[in-house]
Amino acid sequence: MNDWWADFYNDTIAELFLVRDEAAELDFLVERLELRPDFLVYDQCCGIGNLAIGLARRGFRAVGADLCAPYIERARRDAAGLPCEFSCADAFTYRPPESCDGAYNWYSSFGYADQDARNLEMLRRAFESLKPGGRFALDFLNAPAVYRDFKPRMERGSPGGPRVVRECNIDVLRGRLEQRWTTTNAAGRCSERTSSVKLYPPHQLAELLRDAGFRDIELLGSVTGTAVNVESPRCIAVGRKP
C-alpha cells in the first residue's frame, strides 16, 4: 500500500474521531511530561490541533505539525491569540525549529508505514525535537486488546450523516489492522478509503522508544495511569531523553 495517510483525513473523520473532550488527556500530558508554566511542547501529528490548543490555554507554549493542510488551517484559526504555532509538515522528517521541553504523538498517529525502520524515524524526530531531560508520550492502540476484542464492523455517527462505517480485518501474518472506511458527510456525500496500522504490542513500542534513544520508559494502559494489560483501552509509552 502507498502512503495511505497522505490523503486519508477529511472533515467527517475530524468531526467523528478528533473532536472530543480532551480534559483527561491534557491532565495526563501535563503530569507525565512534567510540564511547567511556559514550557514548549511539540504535538507530532497534531490533527486539528485540539491538544496543542488545550495546552496553550493551560499556560504552556505549543508547536504542532500535521500533513493534512485543512486540519492545519483549522488549528491555526482555532488557536488565534494563543501561544501556539502549526506547520503543515511530514513528521517522518520534520523537527520544530526550537528544542522543546516535552513532546507527544497522540491518538494512534503512529505505525502507519509498512517498514518498522520508517516508523522508527518518526520516533527519532520526536527524540530530536526535545531538550535533554524532556519527556515524550506515544499514545497508541493496545494491540492485545485489539486482537482480543476484534470487531469486523464498527459504526459511528448518525444515519443522516456525518457517519463512518469501518470494515476491519487483522492481517495476522503482517501484524496489521486493515480497515475500509465508508464516510458520509453532513451533505450525504459518500466516499471510501482504506487504512493500515501495524499492531505493535506494548513491549515492542517500548523497544522502538529505546531504539530512538529514550530511557526510563513506562507503559501505561490509559490516561488514568493504570498499568497496561490485555484489557487496557490504550497503550501509552512514556520515555525521557537522557
Ligand X SMILES: C[S@@+](CC[C@H](N)C(=O)[O-])C[C@H]1O[C@@H](n2cnc3c(N)ncnc32)[C@H](O)[C@@H]1O
Residues that bind ligand X (CB under 6 A): 5, 9, 18, 45-47, 51, 65-68, 71, 90-92, 106-109, 112
Q: Report, in Å, the least distance between residue 141 CB and ligand X.
A: 10
DSSP, res 6:
G
Instruction: Note every long-range contact of 223-226, with CB atoms under 8 Å and residues 24 or more positions apart, other chains counting.
Output: 223/24, 223/25, 223/27, 223/28, 224/24, 224/28, 225/28, 225/31, 225/32
Q: Report, in Å, the least distance between residue 241 CB and ligand X.
A: 20
Which residue, 34 or 90, is less far from ligand X as judged by CB? 90
Which residue, 112 or 214, is less far from ligand X as judged by CB? 112
Q: Report, in Å, the least distance between residue 68 CB and ligand X.
A: 4
DSSP, res 221:
S
Q: Report, in Å, the least distance between residue 110 CB and ligand X.
A: 8
Which residue, 13 or 132, is less far from ligand X as judged by CB? 13
Which residue, 229 or 239, is less far from ligand X as judged by CB? 239
Q: Report, in Å, the least distance between residue 70 CB and ligand X.
A: 10
CB contact at 8 A, 241 and 214: yes
Q: Which of 48, 71, 13, 66 is nearest to 194 (CA)?
A: 13
In DSSP notation, 27-82 reads: HHHHHHTT--TT-EEEEET-TT-HHHHHHHHTT-EEEEEES-HHHHHHHHHHTTTS
CB-closest chain residue to ligand X:
47
Which residue, 6 or 215, is less far from ligand X as judged by CB? 6
Q: How far apart are CA 135 and CA 120, in angstroms?
A: 17
Q: Report, in Å, the least distance between residue 67 CB and ligand X.
A: 4
Which residue, 91 or 206, is less far from ligand X as judged by CB? 91
Report helix, strand or coil for 185.
coil
Sheet (strand 215-220) strand order: 84-88, 61-66, 40-44, 100-105, 130-141, 234-240, 215-220
